[in-house]
């Protein structure tokens, strides 16, 4: 018997799927492909105009937590029956993911596997999204491309991505929620703090320290032993030979 799989969309997607049968399937997060192969694939929607007691309760939760939890839009007898009997639950954006968490907490089904698509995770908003997910006890994996090379005695934090042909040499440490883009080279004994972005083809030489929230542009070269402060922007192609203070923009 095939497992129950439930996709949770924002309001209106069911009608689009029904009407636009020849449209691009990628807009529906592979729902069509699961539905084709598994008759136990379900679709429910987060309703946007739900009122009543639950609305005011979760409005208060949103105000206190500053997290977009709209669980009231999912509280419906039929929805809850589908959700609580699912084996795999797929939230199609992070706000839906936040909204599902209270229901998962009260569910007696401990076997539900929960997946969330994250919108904007590679943009400036990724720091806030990451922090919210950590606050809500999400486990965020790191990703290493097959062609990337991470030295055995180097480490990366949760949510960090090593893209194609990245090389991270020995004794280097890359913290949480960083992006090391294609063909970047991180040499030995480098320390990169959280929420940094190292762009395509950049070279970070040995014993460099890069503080949090810093962006290193494509093809930039950071010379050995340089210390770069937090929230800096190093433009593409720059060669950095001396320390950079926090908040600097270098073109």
Q: Higher pLDDT residue, 214 or 48?
A: 214
Domain locations along the chain: 5-135, 142-241
Predicted confidence (pLDDT) per residue in 32-43, tens digit = 777 777 778 889
Class of domain 142-241 as given by CATH = mainly beta
Q: How many CB atoms lie within 10 A of CB 77?
A: 6
Predicted confidence (pLDDT) per residue in 16-27, tens digit = 777 766 655 555
Joined together, the tokens standing for residue 213 give: 């929230």
> Shortest CA distance to 217 belongs to which of 241, 242, 234?
234
Predicted confidence (pLDDT) per residue in 142-172, tens digit = 889 999 999 999 999 988 999 999 999 999 9
- Name every residue whose Cβ is closer than 8 Å to that of residue 188 and which is 6 or more positions away in sequence: 169, 170, 171, 172, 206, 207
At 121 the pLDDT is 45
At 124 the pLDDT is 52
Distance separating alpha carbons of residues 106 and 94, to the nearest angstrom: 20
Q: Higher pLDDT residue, 166 or 92?
A: 166
List, in sequence order, every residue forming a beta bridge with 88; answer none if it has no partner.
5, 113
Residue 201 has pLDDT above 90, yes or no: yes
Mean pLDDT of 108-130: 70
24-33, 107-116, 171-180: which has the minimum mean pLDDT? 24-33
Q: Could you tell me the sign of the dihedral formed by the alpha carbons of 127, 133, 139, 145, in that order?
A: negative
Cβ-contact 130, 177 below 8 angstroms: yes
């Amino acid at each position: 018997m095939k497992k129950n799989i439930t996709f949770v969309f924002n309001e209106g997607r069911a009608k689009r799927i029904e009407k636009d049968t020849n449209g691009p399937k990628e807009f529906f997060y592979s729902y069509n492909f699961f539905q084709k192969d598994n008759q136990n694939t379900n679709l429910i929607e987060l309703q946007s105009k739900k009122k009543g007691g639950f609305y005011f309760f979760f409005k208060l939760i949103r105000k206190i937590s500053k997290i977009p939890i709209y669980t009231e839009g999912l509280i419906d007898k039929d929805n809850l029956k589908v959700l609580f009997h699912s084996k795999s639950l797929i939230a199609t954006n992070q706000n839906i993911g936040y909204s599902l968490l209270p229901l998962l907490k009260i569910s007696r089904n401990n076997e539900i596997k929960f997946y969330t698509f994250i919108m904007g995770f590679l943009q400036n908003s990724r720091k806030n999204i990451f922090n919210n997910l950590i606050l809500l006890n999400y486990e965020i994996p790191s990703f290493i491309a097959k062609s990337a090379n991470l030295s055995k005695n180097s480490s990366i934090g949760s949510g960090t991505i090593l893209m194609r042909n990245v090389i991270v040499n020995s004794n280097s440490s890359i913290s949480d929620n960083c992006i090391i883009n294609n063909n970047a080279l991180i040499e030995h004994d480098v320390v990169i703090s959280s929420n940094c972005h190292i762009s395509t083809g950049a070279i970070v030489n040995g014993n460099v320290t890069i503080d949090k929230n810093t962006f290193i542009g494509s093809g930039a070269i950071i010379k050995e032993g340089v210390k770069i402060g937090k929230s800096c922007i190093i433009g593409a192609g720059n060669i950095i030979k001396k320390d950079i203070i926090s908040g600097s923009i270098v073109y």
